[in-house]
Structure 1
Amino acid sequence: MRKLLVIGIGVGDPDFVTIQAVNALNTVDVFFLLDKGPAAGDLTQARQAICERFITNDRYRSVTVTDPPRDRGAADYPEAVRQWRDRRAERLEQVIDAELGEHGVGGFLVWGDPSLYDGIIRVIETILERGVLTLEYEVIPGISSIQALAARHRIAINQVASPVHVTTGRRIKEGLPNNADDIVVMLDADLACAAHRDEDIDIYWGAYLGTEDEILVAGKLRDVIDHISQTRAELRERKGWIMDTYLLRRKPGQHAE
């Protein structure tokens, strides 16, 4: 039976790759790489560098699959994501069938951790639900951007006896959650936290975590948000893409009940 390994490779720093991930890398026959266009070329190169560094055999190969376009501005965002996931599943199903032998091992190299805002697990489940291919899969965890952010800023991600809320920029545009003092924000294309500059909030921000381009900013949101916004714009212009994560922190008990 075909087997797929969904391997979390951490964020940027090759030293984030775990021993479990290294062992998994060395069992893969075919790596399936999703081509998301020129802007994501750095991430593709980073994946290839990890293979070259940690794989000790020369029998593996890579197959690139063009990722289908995605409507990020759709009014019904969940439905747009579902449709995009279905198209991605169809493409991968065809390529896996053509490129991976009946008893072969295929691999997906997932930036960060596969459980956190990455769609490949759901895509594989969609392939299984379609019933065309028979396969099994395993998930290997990785160091997430949240862990890297906390480590780089030398902070705990939560305060004593306090919950942590993990969300997206799309969600905090609707307002900050009222049940947590620590809010981790990912996938924020528009730096939505700027709307909360008048509140008493600290921010711990990081971009390109674990890479040579890593940059960190921390302070009162009102004091540093303009600097973060300008830095972010300059980085996006220079590199063609931006990948950042941040923690918003209120004083304990400051949130509304």
Structure 2
Amino acid sequence: MRVIEDLWLIGIGTGSLSHITLEGVAALRAAQVILVPHKGAGKDDLADLRYQIIAASGTAAQIIPFDYPTRDPALPYDARVSDWHDEIARRWQSAMVRAEADGPVALLVWGDPSLYDSTLRIARRLDPVPRLRAVPGITAIQALTAAHAIALNTVNGPVHITTGRRLRAQGWPEGVETVVVLLDGEAGFQHLTEPRLDIWWGAYLGSPDQLLHHGTLSDVTQTIVDLRANARARHGWIMDTYLMRKRP
């Protein structure tokens, strides 16, 4: 089994072929091996986009697909994620049995590998830990604010970035004006009781299937919940992000 000595994590944005940077394209062309995760039935389009980006780059790298593991719902959250990350790292290394060349190994990472993504943490579970290179990409936050043509922050205003799990458990952060929520599988915004909130929501950002909606949270909550449910039923998965802001 070949050891991964150099691992390049290349941000590919949120669904548009144009989201990958020139640096990312150059990295794909220089890579010797590219690992491509397959996440199971109903999620083929996630792998398909990666293959389209690889083909458009003109790389001659060997492409090695591997099956992505699922999390064990019976375990507590922290243990569930830790075991899942261990298994992902094992599958990266196992996939290298098929590698025909030495040299840099690349993984195409949704969004940006350094923002709300665990690929860098998983990479450090390899033994030995490879030399890591992170190539930035368009983040879901950038894609969301650009799609709605809004600024991320108010003048001199801070921004709080959190997960759906924390939003559901803790509610609206005290003293915060703008909140961005990532990784929310259960539409945590629908449980908020904070008054005077506006929401800018988006799913499949940057892709041909992009969905956008915004308005006063109390007025559009059910509309967004319905949009999410219908989209998940149609695609078999959903990846969405939203920004909320408190009015004075």
TM range (shorter): over 0.9
Contact kept in structure 1, 2:65 and 2:95, CA below 8 Å = no
- When residues 100 and 246 of structure 1 are mapped into structure 2, their CA distance, relative to the original with a 3 A threshold, is farther
Contact kept in structure 2, 1:198 and 1:222, CA below 8 Å = no
* Structure 1 Cα separation of the partners of residues 194 and 176 of structure 2: 18
Task: Identify the range of structure 1 (111-120 vs 165-174) with the bigger mean alpha-carbon deviation.
Answer: 111-120
Post-superposition CA distance 1:100-159 (Å, at most 9, x none): 64x4121100011111232211111110xx33xx63221100000100000011111111
User: Which residue of the other structure, out of 139, 154, 157, is the alignment partner of 1:162?
Assistant: 157
**Percent identical residues:** 39
Give the letter aligned to residue 68 of structure 1: P
Contact kept in structure 2, 1:207 and 1:242, CA below 8 Å = yes
* Structure 1 Cα separation of the partners of residues 194 and 82 of structure 2: 36
Name the residue aligned to 1:186: 182
* Structure 2 Cα separation of the partners of residues 161 and 40 of structure 1: 41
| TM-score (structure 2 length as normaliser) | 0.92
What are the within-5 Å matches in structure 2 for residues 125-204 of structure 1?
A: 125-127=124-126, 130-131=127-128, 135-174=130-169, 175-196=171-192, 199-204=195-200
Classify the secondary structure of the residue corresponding to 1:173.
helix
Post-superposition CA distance 1:13-44 (Å, at most 9, x none): 11111111111111112111122112321110
Give the C-alpha shift of residue 187 in structure 1: 1.2
| Shift >3 Å, 4+ stretches | none
Classify the secondary structure of the residue corresponding to 2:108.
strand
Q: Which runs of 5+ in 2 are unaligned?
A: none
Q: Which runs of 5+ in 1 are unaligned?
A: 253-257
Contact kept in structure 2, 1:11 and 1:145, CA below 8 Å = yes
* Structure 2 Cα separation of the partners of residues 241 and 62 of structure 1: 25
What are the within-5 Å matches in structure 2 for residues 86-97 of structure 1?
A: 86-96=86-96
* Structure 1 Cα separation of the partners of residues 122 and 230 of structure 2: 34
The root-mean-square deviation of aligned C-alpha atoms, in Å, is 1.8
Classify the secondary structure of the residue corresponding to 2:174.
coil
Name the residue aligned to 2:108: 109
Contact kept in structure 1, 2:124 and 2:130, CA below 8 Å = no
